[in-house]
Amino acid sequence: MAERPRVRGLRGRDLPARDLPARGLSARGLLGHGRLLRRRLLAGRPAAAVRAAAGTALERWPGLRRLWPTTVRARATVGASLVVAAALALASFTLLGLLEANLLRNAENDARRQADTVAQLTAAGRLDRVRLTARGVEFVQVVGADGRVLFATPNLIGVPAFRPAGPGVPGTRFQTWRVRPLGGDHRQRVVQVITNTPDGPAVVYAGASLRDADAADDTTTAALVIGMPLLLATVALVTWRVTGRALRPVEAIRAEVAEISDRDLHRRVPVPATQDEVARLAQTMNATLDRLEASGVRQRQFIADASHELRSPITVLRTQLEVALAVRDPELWPELIGGALQDIERLQHLASDLLLLARIDAAQPVAAVELDLTALVEEAVAARLGDRVPVHLRLEDGVGITGSALWLSRVVTNLLDNAQRYADRCVRVTLRTTGGPGPRSAVLEVTDDGPGIPAADRERVFERFTRLDDSRSRDHGGAGLGLAIARDLSAHHGGTLTAEDAATGARLVLRLPVSPGHAVAPYRG
């Protein structure tokens, strides 16, 4: 008895073709299941399985963590290789799927044309004229309503009738499956057509060879198995070389920075000529070193100036105390003690200024409190007793700002102290707001009728321990810190303090951002 035709199962196990309908599977269903597996592979589920397996392996063998690359160069190489491998795997599955689908479609079209031709001849009762005319079709079998083989090509002589994949409903229907009725290593695509004849419905089977599809799959798979490792090795090598070349300037920058100490801030890192991100990193690093060097210079200068300023009153105070000890006349002691108290007061003010500068340099945050700058200026002026010249106010009502009342009061006090030190007969304070429909600014101007500030020195007066007339400033009790503190506090509140042109004397202008919702009010003098 001839061998019954068999169908290749999902796991490579052959099943009898007659058992397919009974098991609820058809050849087309098997193909669809294979496509489902391919879609799952393309959907990334294998990647999730690999990640889960990797996590389990790391938990079971913690020593594997030491195999993970720790350098940027190694991680970039591994990452690029993994990405290329995933892309190649996806492209390979897609290529194999498209290639197989195309070849299967061609084979099915050939078998369908042959089956349609034979079905027409069967309906007309002219099976004697059946010829294999379609390209690639290897066999044809016609089964009658009673299950007898009405026609079969010579290579199916002795093979029992195929069992229909579905009920014999009159009309035409198509079913495909993978079947191997002729033996051999290649597969066939079988098309089933049901047609009506004078003796009842008949089923026509036409099988097309899938030898080309199997050969193409084998060839493509072999090429991918050989080519993918070579391509991955090339990608890893190129990534390793390119990453190493790109990171070489970074290593030079790191080595140079590692050798720079607090006494070598004049050194700079090399800037590559590539004009890329690494070059910008080197430029930024050099700019940071410039700021650090300038900060170090300012700090050393500040320490030297502070030491000088502290040494003078301490020396005078010691001299006065030594004279007081040497003088035996009690009537001179009050005068000597009064001079010593003045020097102590000067030391207290200087120490307070130095402490405030240290707090400002530490970038302590400003308290975000809503303030009425108009009331703050009025209180600062009212609290001053014994000013040498009168202060004339012209203030806008209800100028709202955000900041620290203590620090802003110190700004106003320092500006007034500076004006009182050099004014001749009067000091004028003006407060107003400026700006369009957008952000507005509060402008506080303190003007005196003194000698003024030369245009060349309008920035230098805000430097610490700077005196335009050293002897005169020292006579008036100034240490050269008042305007420097006022500018730093203004910048801390997001504002500016500048010396600007004036008809007579000096004109210092403070600008601060106004709180939202501030309404313009009329001046009052």
How confident is the model at residue 393, as a pLDDT? Answer: 93
| Helix 45-60, helix 27-42: angle, nearest 10 | 60
> Do residues 328 and 404 both lie within one domain?
no
pLDDT at 65 over 50: yes
Contacts of 346 (CB under 8 A, 6+ apart): 313, 477
Report yes or no on 220 lying in a domain: no
Give the pLDDT band of residue 21 (cuts 50, 70, 90): very low
Joined together, the tokens standing for residue 525 give: 């003098």
**Which of residues 329, 359, 389 is at a domain's end?**
359
How confident is the model at residue 172, as a pLDDT? Answer: 59
> Do residues 520 and 442 both lie within one domain?
yes
> Do residues 348 and 431 both lie within one domain?
no
How confident is the model at residue 480, as a pLDDT? Answer: 76
How much is the average pLDDT of 124-129?
80
* Structural domain harbouring 473: 365-524
pLDDT at 344 over 90: no
Give the pLDDT band of residue 146 (cuts 50, 70, 90): confident
Helices (H), 180-210: none
> Do residues 134 and 33 both lie within one domain?
yes
CATH assignment at residue 425: 3.30.565.10
- The segment with the largest mean pLDDT, out of 32-41, 288-297, 464-473, is 288-297
Element (H, E) at 204: strand 200-209
CATH assignment at residue 327: 1.10.287.130
Look at the chain and report how many structural domains it folds into. Answer: 3
> Do residues 92 and 181 both lie within one domain?
yes
- The segment with the largest mean pLDDT, out of 62-71, 159-168, 375-384, is 375-384
How confident is the model at residue 474, as a pLDDT? Answer: 45
Q: Write down the pTM of the prediction.
A: 0.49
Among candidates 215, 277, 216, 217, which has minimal Cα distance to 249? 277
How confident is the model at residue 64, as a pLDDT? Answer: 59
> Do residues 43 and 191 both lie within one domain?
yes
> Do residues 339 and 403 both lie within one domain?
no
Backbone φ, ψ for residue 508 (5° rounding): -105, 130
How much is the average pLDDT of 270-290?
85
pLDDT at 34 over 50: no
How confident is the model at residue 304, as a pLDDT? Answer: 77
> Do residues 410 and 286 both lie within one domain?
no
**Which of residues 320, 338, 359 is at a domain's end?**
359
pLDDT at 473 over 50: no
How confident is the model at residue 411, as a pLDDT? Answer: 92
Lowest mean pLDDT among 348-362, 412-426, 465-479: 465-479
> Do residues 338 and 454 both lie within one domain?
no
Report yes or no on 188 lying in a domain: yes
**Angle value at C-alpha 380, between 374 and 385, nearest 5 degrees:** 140
Q: pLDDT digits over 502-513, tens only?
A: 888 999 999 999
How confident is the model at residue 67, as a pLDDT? Answer: 66
Q: 184: left (phi > 0), else alpha (psi -120 to 50), else beta?
A: left
Report yes or no on 336 lying in a domain: yes
Name the amino acid, one letter, at 148. R
> Do residues 321 and 392 both lie within one domain?
no
How much is the average pLDDT of 133-153?
83
CA distance 493 to 403: 6
How much is the average pLDDT of 307-312?
74
> Do residues 329 and 351 both lie within one domain?
yes
Cβ atoms < 10 Å from Cβ of 278: 18
How much is the average pLDDT of 98-109?
85
**Angle value at C-alpha 117, between 165 and 119, nearest 5 degrees:** 45
Report yes or no on 269 lying in a domain: no
> Do residues 14 and 31 both lie within one domain?
yes
How confident is the model at residue 288, as a pLDDT? Answer: 87
What mean pLDDT is reported for the chain? 77
Give the pLDDT band of residue 2 (cuts 50, 70, 90): very low
Give the pLDDT band of residue 478 (cuts 50, 70, 90): low
How confident is the model at residue 489, as a pLDDT? Answer: 87
**Which of residues 323, 342, 359 is at a domain's end?**
359
Give the pLDDT band of residue 443 (cuts 50, 70, 90): very high
Element (H, E) at 369: strand 369-372
